[in-house]
Structure formats: structure tokens, C-alpha cells
Structure 1
């Protein structure tokens, strides 16, 4: 009876080992599928994040362009008024010379102010970091997790 018990006890152990060996490829297949799903999810997150940033830049750019057109019209009118005002400060007998000097001085002042603004905004824009930090951090975590698992 003891031999019979041993033989029946050994059979389930062999069947269990075969089941584990058959399940191993299935587990690796599922692991591969899960990794692909994870990477797809992370890439979709990155796409969404980049799209949100791009939308912000596009909206801001359009509003800057509209504001620039309106400001250019106002600037032209103010520039003419300032030039005429500056021309009245000169006491030359020739009014054409007065107007010319008024427009030259006004133009030079606006060129100086515009150049300063361009340099300030260019340095401010160079400090902007367009990297999607959340997605990069998530991908780093996933990379570390995969290294631990493999």
C-alpha cells in the first residue's frame, strides 16, 4: 500500500511541473503584452502632454499676433504725432527740415526701445524649458522597473 501511495503522490507532482512549464511561455507572453501596453500608455501620455503645450503656444502666438497688429496701428499714429511734436521744438526757418529732424529723432528713439525689448524677451524665452517633465519622469521609473523585473 505504501508503494501505491507513493506512485499516486508522485503523479500529481509531475503534472504540476508540466503545467508550470506550459504556463511559463504564457506568462512571458502576458508580460510582453503588459510591457507593450505600458509603453503605449506612456507614449500616449507624452503625446497628450506635448499637444497641450503646443496648443498653449499656438493660442499665445495668435493672441500676440493680434495684439501686435493693433499695437502697430496705434504705434504708427502715436509715432506721427510724436514726430510732429518734436518738429515744433526746432526753430529752423525751413519747416521741411523741422519735420525731417522730428521723424529721425522719433524713429531713433523707437529703434532703441524696440531693440531693448527684443533682447529682454529673447533672453526670457531662452529660459523656457519645453521638455515634458512628467512623461520623462514616468519613463525613467518604467525603465528602472523593467530593469528590476528582468
Structure 2
């Protein structure tokens, strides 16, 4: 065989033989449009996932800021109310401030580390676009 298909009179052979170049180009254009829409949808899903991770990290950083605010408030209250305690008011306030500082530091480090894992590049979409481009260059391979 020389690589061509025999004209066996089947409906598929007749359909291929009657398909014009314009129809083939139209079909390719439609397929490429569909492929592009699918790639855009995949990119949207990936970006949405990364935005959710960024939102969680930002929430942790917000809580760390609130913990810092509480440290200031509790330090002020501790200075006022610790006078009646056994220890000096300054030491009591320092202990409370240090505890809230530790909480704030832990939340800050955790949030910052999680924020570092956020990747805005939709890797799966990039990979499939590369595959599509490779296929367009060599559709038989």
C-alpha cells in the first residue's frame, strides 16, 4: 500500500472525498476555538485555587495583627490591674505581652510560609498548551 486509503465506496470514504478544504479549515477552527475555551476554563480553576490559598494566608496574617492589637490592650489592662497582684505590675504586664507576642509571631510565620506556597502560574494549563502546540507542529507524532 502507498499510504492512501482505497476507495471502497463506504459512506465514510465518500464523506471524506466530498469534504472541501474550506470545511476542513472550518472544522479545525472550531476545534481550536473549543480547545482554547477549555484551556481558559482550566486556567480559571487553577487561579481560583491559588486565590483561596492566598486568602487563607492573608487571614492568618490578619489574626496575627489582631493578636498584636490584643497585646497592646492587655498590656494596658495588665499595667492597671496588676497593681493588686503579688508581683510587681510591670512584670505581670510583661508576661502577658510576651505570651501574646509569641502567639502573634507563630501566626505570622505560619501565614507567611503559607503565602510563599501560593503560585499564580496555572501550571496544568501551561503544560496542556505546550502539548497542544507540540501537537499542532507534529499532529502525527
Determine the structure 2 residue equivalent to 1:50: 47
Counterpart pick for 2:29 among 12, 27, 32: 32
Determine the structure 2 residue equivalent to 1:147: 137
Higher relative contact order (CA 8 A, sep 6+): 2
Determine the structure 2 residue equivalent to 1:123: 113
* Greater helix share, structure number: 1
- CA gap of 1:86–1:23, structure 2 versus 1, over 3 A, is farther
Unaligned segments of structure 1, at least 5 residues: 1-19, 91-97
Instruction: Say if 2:96 is the partner of 1:106.
Output: yes
Runs of 4+ in 1 over 4 A off after TM superposition: 55-58, 60-65, 74-77, 83-87
TM score, norm. by length of structure 2: 0.53
CA RMSD of aligned residues (A): 4.4
Unaligned segments of structure 2, at least 5 residues: 1-16
Deviations 1:46-91 (A, max 9, x none): 2233235535655x479869x88x989x9878x968x96797342x
- CA gap of 1:112–1:47, structure 2 versus 1, over 3 A, is closer
